[in-house]
Amino acid sequence: MKAKATLKQISKELNVSVSTVSKALNDSPEISEQTKTRIKEYAKLKNYKPNVIGLNLKNRKTRTIGVIIPNILDSFFAKDFSGIEKIADQNGYNVIMCISNESLKKEANTLNMLSNGTIDGFI
């Protein structure tokens, strides 16, 4: 497997600024189509993938939602979770499932634990 390229490496190889590379990869209108194409093709060739953790910190979004389920053995909740996960995936979100075993205290602890920015919201 090829090593992933970074914005800095791409900018150095193409003799442009890191900012130009970032803007090109994000389709900024400030960058010409020719430059965007050149940068995107090179990034693809070098297996560039955005740093998801860095993007999440910058955007303050994790694209992750939490679902607290009282009982995973109940088919009602299993079907609900399946539907939630399907819709979330279609919208570019990941889902974290937490099982409370019908304990209000465990639900509260889970809410406190995950509300520190780990996820964008709860269901």
Strand order in the sheet with 64-69: 94-99, 64-69, 121-122
- Whether the full predicted model's pTM is greater than 0.75, yes or no, is no
- 46 and 18 in a single domain? The answer is yes
Query: What pLDDT is stored for residue 36 in this prediction?
Result: 93
Tokens at 47, concatenated: 């297996």
- 35 and 65 in a single domain? The answer is no
For the segment 11-37, the average pLDDT, to the nearest whole number, is 92
- 68 and 37 in a single domain? The answer is no
Rounded Cα gap, residues 120 and 118, in angstroms: 7
- 63 and 92 in a single domain? The answer is yes
74-to-36, 44, 52 alpha-carbon distances in Å: 51, 45, 34
Q: Are 65 and 35 in contact (CB under 8 A)?
A: no
Burial (Cβ within 10 Å: 0-12, 13-18, ≥19) of residue 66: buried
Query: What pLDDT is stored for residue 58 in this prediction?
Result: 60
Tokens at 23, concatenated: 């803007």
For the segment 39-52, the average pLDDT, to the nearest whole number, is 86
Query: Residue 104 sits in which domain range?
Result: 59-122
Whether 26 maps to a domain, the answer reads yes
70-to-22, 77, 98 alpha-carbon distances in Å: 43, 8, 8
Whether 2 maps to a domain, the answer reads no
Whether 1 maps to a domain, the answer reads no
Beta strand spans in 1-123 (E): 64-69, 94-99, 121-122
- What's the total number of domains in the chain? 2
Rounded Cα gap, residues 26 and 24, in angstroms: 5
Per-residue confidence at 26, pLDDT binned at 50, 70, 90?
Answer: confident
